[in-house]
Amino acid sequence: MIQVAAPSSIRDALERHGTTREDVLDALGLLPGARVLLVGDFIADWYTYCTAIGKTSKTPTLSVKRGPTDRFWGGSGLFATNLLGLGAIVEYVTVCGDDWGAGYLMREPPANLSLHVVVDPTRPTTIKERFWVDGYKLLQVDTLENAYVPVSVHEQVAGAVAASIGGCDLVLTSDSRHGMMSPELIQLMKRICREHGKPLVVDTQVSNRRGNVDEYCGVDLICANETEARDCIRDERCGHDVLLDKLRDCLRVRRVIIKLGLDGLMGFDERERAFRLPAVPVDVRDPIGSGDAFLSAAALTFRPQVKVMASMFIAACAGALAVTKMGTVPNTLAELSGFVERTLDDVF
């Protein structure tokens, strides 16, 4: 189990903001039925499980025997499955290569999902294959193209967004920095959300490219980890309070969240001002995908009638539950509800 603050610290954080058990349960009840327009890079997450069989004779290279491969929707696709798992109705606009990607996505689409897949002939469908050897991740092999999509693809994506935005309650952009979310499309998303009065929630990542958190200035909700936040403000040494102040001033959003790993999370909300929440203690199996689970729940509870700490508690539980699973397996509403209630029993 990760070493985090005691449940009493979580209770103190909730009570500091006047958040009760009933507030959390009421917010949990709002998850089903939300209509979400999801836009972003699709990634195929492959987990290949291997067994070590020794060292090769001529070079000091580990030799492994390949076993089965589990395949999951990743990137914005993982947001789609997380949102669907929590009972949302999702319009999903994404890009894949002129290969197997479109057929794979559209072969058996889940219930309550409407797909708008734009094919880009200039790129492959993004794959991230992780090789696990005897329980340890040994290697990740990526198939990708990070160049921005051509104008023709941008126009098709923009058309799909314009056609879908009227029927949604909120818009979630998942920017994995693999070319779909060009600066032009980011500006279009911000403008069209303002024009239609739809909240825009953003996830953007620092991976093997420079971050672009600052391009999402003025959105409604943005979530970043500490690395992404420091990359945005170009400050690697300041304390957490200064980090939050600088990021808030830079982005000018209604709510900003900084994930701090074992230290939990901190953020700023235009109504309730600064907030902190310790991490929820769990046994960690695989941390990949926990951020998507966290933000999916945070987005669905980003509503005027939901207290910010009720939203953060549910989101923190969603992220904690996700790391207890091997692979990018989405949470279901029943799983999350049960986990939230058990955690509330410990906290209160």
In angstroms, rounded to a whole number, what is the distance separating the alpha carbons of residues 79 and 167?
19
pLDDT above 50 for 7 = yes
pLDDT above 50 for 147 = yes
pLDDT above 90 for 82 = yes
In angstroms, rounded to a whole number, what is the distance separating the alpha carbons of residues 138 and 140?
7
pLDDT above 90 for 109 = no
The per-residue pLDDT for 58 is 87
In angstroms, rounded to a whole number, what is the distance separating the alpha carbons of residues 226 and 181?
22
> Could you tell me which of 112, 187, 188, 177 has the C-alpha nearest to residue 149?
177
Q: Please answer whether residues 308 and 277 qualify as being in contact, where contact means their C-beta atoms are separated by less than 8 angstroms.
A: no
Q: What is the pLDDT of residues 33-47, one digit of tens each?
A: 999 999 999 999 999
Structural domains of the chain, ranges and CATH numbers in brackets: 7-42+74-123+147-347 (3.40.1190.20)
> Could you tell me which of 300, 295, 298, 259 has the C-alpha nearest to residue 279?
259
Question: In whole angstroms, what separates CA 174 from the centre of its chain?
Answer: 7
Cα-flanking dihedrals φ and ψ of residue 242, to 5°? Answer: -65, -40
Question: Three-state DSSP class for 336?
Answer: helix
Q: What is the pLDDT of residues 264-283, one digit of tens each?
A: 999 999 988 999 999 998 98
In angstroms, rounded to a whole number, what is the distance separating the alpha carbons of residues 113 and 99?
22
Q: With 0-12 CB in 10 A as exposed, 13-18 as middle and 19+ as buried, what is 303?
A: middle
Q: In what order do the strands lie in the sheet with 62-75?
A: 62-75, 42-55, 127-133, 136-143
The conformation of residue 219, written as its DSSP 8-state character, comes to -
pLDDT above 60 for 136 = yes
pLDDT above 90 for 262 = no
Quick one: what percent of the chain has pLDDT higher than 90? 81
Element containing residue 161 per DSSP (H, E): helix 151-164
- Report, as an integer, the average pLDDT of 173-195: 94
pLDDT above 90 for 145 = yes
pLDDT above 90 for 288 = no
Instruction: Label residue 6 by pLDDT band (50, 70, 90).
Output: low
Going through the chain in order, the beta strands assigned E by DSSP cover: 35-40, 42-55, 62-75, 89-97, 113-120, 127-133, 136-143, 170-175, 200-204, 221-225, 255-259, 265-269, 273-277
Other Cβ atoms closer than 10 A to 341: 14
Kindly report the average pLDDT of the chain as a whole number.
Answer: 93
pLDDT above 60 for 4 = no
Bridge partners (DSSP) listed for residue 97:
120
Question: In whole angstroms, what separates CA 38 from the centre of its chain?
Answer: 11
Q: What is the pLDDT of residues 38-72, one digit of tens each?
A: 999 999 999 999 999 998 888 999 999 999 999 99
Cα separations (Å) of 90 from 39, 76, 128, 300, 341?
10, 12, 24, 12, 26
